[in-house]
Each structure stands twice: as C-alpha cells, then as structure tokens.
C-alpha cells in the first residue's frame, strides 16, 4: 500500500515515531487496556479481547511487563 518494501517501511515508521510498527501496536493495545481497567467495570477477559488479546495469559503477561503489575492490581491501584 505504501509503495515501499517492508524493511524500508519499518525504518521510515521507526524514524517518524520512535517505535517499530509492532511496538507501536502493542503500546496502543496496552494503553487502551489501561484506560479500560481504570474507567470501566468490564471483566478483565473482556478488556483483553477488546484490545486484541485472545489469550488472557498473554494479556496479563504483556500488561505486567509494561506496568509491573497484573490487570486486577492495576485496576485496584488506579480506582
């Protein structure tokens, strides 16, 4: 779609944003999840699905690696 190769696109994207495309998407997913955990009472499993994580364990691991706590702990601390 961009008219350039995948590797060139990744380099251009990273130069413009500071993130690889994959890291950008992962960061956006975690930020959306953080917002939902803080501002809704949706179940954690539903939040994970809404953010594109189809395995709860993968979501929990991703959130923990980004913010240093589980989804439930994050929710408790941000309410």
pTM of the model: 0.87
Could you say which of 3.30.310.10, 1.10.10.60, 3.10.105.10, 2.30.110.10 is the CATH number of the domain covering 6-78?
A: 1.10.10.60
- pLDDT at site 24: 96
User: Shortest CA distance to 53 belongs to which of 66, 18, 39?
Assistant: 66
Residue 58: C-alpha distances to residues 6, 9, 40, 55, 71 (Å): 26, 27, 21, 5, 12
First to last CA, the chain: 42
Residue 2, pLDDT above cutoff 90? no
C-alpha 34/C-alpha 12 separation (Å) is 28
- Per-residue pLDDT averaged across 33-49, rounded? 97
- pLDDT at site 3: 84
SS3 17: helix
- pLDDT at site 22: 95
């Amino acid at each position: 779609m961009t008219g350039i190769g995948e590797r060139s696109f990744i380099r251009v994207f990273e130069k413009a944003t500071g993130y690889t495309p994959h890291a950008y998407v992962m960061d956006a997913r975690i930020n959306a999840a953080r917002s939902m955990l803080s501002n809704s009472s949706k179940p954690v499993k539903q939040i994970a699905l809404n953010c594109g994580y189809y395995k709860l364990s993968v979501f929990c691991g991703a959130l923990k690696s980004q913010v240093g706590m589980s989804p439930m702990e994050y929710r408790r601390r941000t309410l």
